[in-house]
Amino acid sequence: MIVGIPKERRPYEYRVGLPPAGVSLFLQHGHRVYVENGAGVGAGFRDQDYGREGAQIAYSAEELFGRADLALKFARPLREELEGMREGAALAGFLHLAAAREDKLQLIAEKQLTALAYELVQEDSGERPIMAPLSQIGGRMAVQIAARLLQNDHGGRGILLGGLAGVPPAEVAVLGAGVAGSTAAAAFLEAGAHVTVLDSELRHLQALQAGHGAGLLTLLATPPNIRRVCAYADVLVGAVAVPGERAPVLVGREVVAHMKPRALILDLSIDQGGCIETSRPTDHGSPTFLEEGVLHYCVPNISGVLGRTATHALFMAAYPYLEQIANLGLAGALQASPALARAATRYSPA
């Protein structure tokens, strides 16, 4: 099997699908690894680093995708990347196909590609082990992003997250008590903000409350509760995800319109379509926009600017599954691992 590691081409994308340490994982099982020239630069890896581990360098995307039986990406594929893949090949990465354009899905079907979506790798326990560390990164980044965007010079309300003696802290509402939401809630609490978390599952709220005590307010995510909390929030974090589906829209435009002027929305669900009606994808170069008088931050690849940390996090989480693929081949690994099988889709032409 030929494994290909392409350079990510989306704007402000510095991550890479496999660090040099992962090359030997495939070589020791008799596979070949090709790495596109400069693929690891954003994460601090040189071509020489890959070469020392035994990888061969491909000097164009066309060569890389033309050779690869399995392409290991990080971010969602571009149409031109899909066009360059060989018929019947496989593609792994954070693909978010539930929110993909129809023409991309048709192209995947026409080429009979096997799509392995890391975000859908799910153990019998319900745990999503590859998605979890990236969700943690997003949750932690939410605090530093919010702290900056609440400043007047970034369009915010001019509020310090943790407040001051005699001055109340920021009101932060987190919609969703999964990994990203729970991580964000804990980080906002540490920053001194007053935090409310809403979720539709009482057991998630109970677990979160047990870990943080009375300093955290938890509520069921009913429409009345969502409207009430949004009305007083300085920061609203959307962290809702349904594996394999588009994120449900839980905050409508009319609710956003009744939020405080220049309040801040961070829609961490935007890579799955967003959970707030007024959200639309942005990028790190122009990350915010104003809608209904509310500042929105909706960057799908939020960890894309933490190239090295995110790449290492992906590799550590994906290692057991990549080892199965290296040892058994993709078809054998899918048969042996129910967790991997849940993440794989083979599209067929209509």
* Residues pairing with 116 in the sheet: 92, 344
Would you give the DSSP letter of residue 218? E
Q: Please state, in angstroms and rounded to a whole number, the distance separating the CA atoms of residues 174 and 229.
A: 10
Number of H helices, E strands in the chain: 12, 14
Closest CA relative to residue 99, chosen from 252, 307, 288, 248: 248
Q: Catalytic annotation on 96?
A: yes
Q: Please state, in angstroms and rounded to a whole number, the distance separating the CA atoms of residues 293 and 253.
A: 11
Is residue 216 classed as helix, strand or coil in its secondary structure?
Answer: strand
Please give the C-alpha separations between residue 290 and each of 156, 239, 264, 293, in angstroms, as whole numbers. 10, 20, 9, 6
Long-range pairs of 180-183 with CB within 8 A, sequence gap ≥ 24: 180/135, 180/136, 180/138, 180/139, 180/239, 180/241, 180/268, 181/139, 181/237, 181/239, 181/240, 181/268, 182/139, 182/208, 183/135, 183/136, 183/138, 183/139, 183/140
CB 48 within 8 A of CB 73: no
Q: Which residue among the candidates 47, 194, 271, 296 is catalytic per the annotation?
A: 271
Q: Which residue among the candidates 47, 96, 267, 296 is catalytic per the annotation?
A: 96
Q: Catalytic annotation on 103?
A: no
Is residue 31 classed as helix, strand or coil in its secondary structure?
Answer: coil
Question: CA torsion angle for 8, 13, 17, 18 (degrees, to 10)?
Answer: 110
Secondary structure in 3-state letters for 47-82: HHHHHHCCCEEECCHHHHHHHCCEEECCCCCCHHHH
Which two tokens mark 266? 């961070």
Please state the length of the chain. Answer: 350
Please give the C-alpha separations between residue 340 and each of 127, 298, 319, in angstroms, as whole numbers. 12, 29, 12
Which residues are known catalytic residues? 96, 271
